[in-house]
Amino acid sequence: MKLKIKLLDWSAGVPVVMLNPKTAEKLGIHVKDRITLSVGAKKLSSIVDTIKKIVKPNEIAVSSEAKEIMNLKNRQKIKIELTPPPRTLVYIKKKLNGERLTKKEIRLIIQDIVTNSLSEPEIALFISAMYEKGMEFNEIIYLIESILETGNKLKLKNKLIVDKHSIGGVAGRVSPLVISICSSTGLTMPKTSSRAITSPAGTADAMECLAKVDFSIEEIKKIISKTNACIVWGGGLGMVPADSKIIKIEKLLKIDPKSQLLASIMSKKLAVGSNHIIIHIPYGKSAKVNKTKALELEKDFKKIAKHFNIKLVCVLTKNNGPLGNGIGPFLEMIDVLKVLKREDSCHNLEKIAIEISGVILELTKKAKKGKGEELALEILNSGKAFEKFKAIIEAQQGKIVDLKPAKFLKTIYSSKNCKIKEIDNKKINFLARITGCPNEKSSGLYLHSHEGDNLKNKQKIITIYSRSKTRLRHAVEYYKKEKPIIFG
């Protein structure tokens, strides 16, 4: 059946269409069923709503998400048909029951995710199955290959391509510092970063405070040819569309299975053609992983790198609370600028950035063995890193501006002499998310004090910022109840 597109300036977060109830009845389609929209070979499955009057029997309204994916125009005719039941739900259940999936089964699941044939609760089940039952080495390789197959690639001509990634879990923007320091030596660093999964800000969220991060592959090639580096959002490039969808649900569920974490990071790195990769793994009591799991992850990453014939080094750092003082896109970017301008070391943010940069400079032979950190600090002190960062921001159509945190705020003070015994990363991240991060860029937290600090009575501990009064109230309630900062 063919219907005429009616655009309504309607946004639903996911591909949804509206049919007139008569059309639905005629097709034997019910509300919440799924139909497939086809334009040529391009197909997209969408959820069905029904609406009287606004959509006539020969029309179909599409949400802006469906419109963008399929590039639809008002009054365009489009073919629709009932989406067959997802053939891959049985494979998801196979994994849920602890069985190993074949290459073909994983490929079909990933294809169904890309065409939107699997619904959100079904993808949630897949994530839960991976979380519960894990995946073997071969399954992870198939997952990476399938994610790559269903996406675009950045094909640079440069031979040596360097990349840095953090597994996340700890607030603080190390990447902009590392990219600025290392790429100022001439290294090619096409950094594609993600938006936050379970944290209050991803590198892309923070970069977006100063510059555009959403480019086409062709535009990125131009940026690289100008500055030999970039720090962009990977999700909009269509490089790993399956991964982007999975991450969206992971965000909601706040879980992040190991197999998907490995596949997510490695597929992104491979899609840009990286052959020298540094993975930062913060570990510790309230980081994403403990030391044992960090060492396991290092082994997994190295094994995958070997399979794909690329050089990979993991940098494990013991974590003592967030890196830097700020948490949230604006507040983290403010820290990055302070370090680049040599105004402040922002607790241990500078230290970790120097450590990782040192490893990269040695791995790429820009520095002699044991001399990497020294060179990194020299570059930072010379102002070359800040110059490089400005060049990247400009190439990405932005400029360095003053960033102001959100207007609603509440500062919490100590009520006696005390010592900060621990800052719980998970709770502090959750607190920052309650303020509105990462969607509200200027919301977030500022830590006046850090782990191990001795506080006097009435000293500032933390300031909570939010764009919404309600969210600020929820955040202060959470802070009081859950105590993310523990005193000794």
| Residues noted as catalytic | 256
409 part of the interface to a copy of itself, by CB under 8 A: no
Largest distance between two CA atoms of the chain: 73
Q: Which of residues 464-483 bind a copy of itself (CB under 8 A)?
A: 466-468, 470-471, 474
Element (H, E) at 103: helix 103-114
Beta bridge mates, 164:
278
Nearer to a copy of itself, 221 or 467 (CB): 467
At 209, list the tokens: 């405070």
For the window 117-146, what string marks contact with a copy of itself as x by the rule CB under 8 A?
--xxxxxxx--xx-xx--------------
Q: Which is nearer to a copy of itself, 253 or 313 (CB)?
A: 253
Q: How far is the CB of 440 from a copy of itself (least distance, A)?
A: 6
192, 229 contact by CB (below 8 A): no
Q: Choose between 8 and 156: whose C-beta lies nearer to a copy of itself.
A: 8
Cα angle 376, 381, 383 (rounded to 5 degrees) comes to 105
Residue 85 or 383: which CB sits closer to a copy of itself? Answer: 85
Are the CB atoms for 193 and 233 separated by under 8 Å? yes
52, 365, 458, 480: which one binds a copy of itself (CB under 8 A)? 52
Question: How far apart, in Å, are the Cα atoms of 38 and each of 57, 65, 79, 469?
Answer: 19, 15, 5, 44
Tell me if 49 contacts a copy of itself by CB under 8 A: yes
Q: How far is the CB of 256 from a copy of itself (least distance, A)?
A: 11
| Pair of tokens at residue 302 | 């190295």
DSSP code of residue 397? T
Nearer to a copy of itself, 47 or 277 (CB): 47
Q: Which ranges constitute the DSSP H helices of 290-367?
A: 291-307, 329-340, 349-363
Nearest to 211 by CA among 383, 395, 337, 339: 395
204 binds a copy of itself (CB under 8 A): no
Alpha-carbon separation of residue 109 from 1, 142, 147, 152, 378 (angstroms): 27, 11, 10, 18, 49
21 is an interface residue for a copy of itself by CB under 8 A: yes
What are the phi and psi torsion angles at 26 (to 5°)?
Answer: -60, -40
Please, which residue, 83 or 267, has the CB nearer to a copy of itself? 83
Quick one: 111 or 459, whose CB is closer to a copy of itself? 111
Specify the pairing of strand 408-413 against strand 454-455. unpaired
Q: How many residues form the binding site for a copy of itself (CB under 8 A)? A: 58
The answer to whether 367 and 375 have CB atoms below 8 angstroms apart is yes
From 300, 362, 373, 440, residue interacting with a copy of itself (rule: CB under 8 A): 440
Please, are residues 19 and 52 in contact by the beta-carbon 8 Å criterion?
Answer: no
d(CA 279, CA 400): 28
CB 325 within 8 Å of CB 447: yes
* From 5-13, 206-214, 274-282, 351-359, span contacting a copy of itself (CB under 8 A): 5-13
Q: Which stretch binds a copy of itself (CB under 8 A): 13-21, 181-189, 288-296, 417-425?
A: 13-21
Three-state secondary structure readout of 176-211: HHHHHHHHCCCCEEEEEECCCCCCCCCHHHHHCCCC
Q: In the bound complex, what is the minimum distance in angstroms from residue 170's beta carbon to a copy of itself?
A: 19
Residue list 242-271, contact with a copy of itself (CB under 8 A): 249, 252-255
Q: Which range of residues in 20-28, 227-235, 290-298, 396-404 is near a copy of itself by CB under 8 A?
A: 20-28
11 binds a copy of itself, rule: CB under 8 A: yes
Strand partners, 2: 79
By beta-carbon proximity to a copy of itself, the closer residue of 24 and 315 is 24
User: Which x/- pattern, by CB under 8 A, does the window 419-438 give for a copy of itself?
Assistant: -----------x--xx-x--
Minimum Å gap between C-beta 10 and a copy of itself is 4
Under the binding rule (CB under 8 A), the answer on residue 63 touching a copy of itself is: yes
Residue 83, token pair as written in the block = 């989406």
Site for a copy of itself in 67-106 (CB under 8 A): 81-82, 84-85, 89, 93, 96
Strand 59-62, strand 16-19: pairing: antiparallel
CB 484 within 8 A of CB 415: no
Q: Tell me the three state secondary structure of residue 432.
A: helix
Structure tokens at 214: 């959403």
One of 54, 160, 401, 486 touching a copy of itself (CB under 8 A): 54
Question: For residues 5 and 346, which CB has a smaller minimum distance to a copy of itself in the complex?
Answer: 5
CB of 182 to a copy of itself, least distance (A): 35
Beta carbon of residue 483, minimum distance to a copy of itself (angstroms, whole number): 15
CA distance 156 to 278: 19
Can residue 439 be called a binding residue for a copy of itself (CB under 8 A)?
Answer: yes
- Asked if 383 touches a copy of itself (CB under 8 A), the answer is no
Check binding of 381 to a copy of itself (CB under 8 A).
no
Binding site residues, a copy of itself, CB under 8 A: 8-14, 16, 18, 21, 27-28, 30-32, 47, 49-54, 63, 81-82, 84-85, 89, 93, 96, 119-125, 128-129, 131-132, 249, 252-255, 430, 433-434, 436, 439-440, 466-468, 470-471, 474
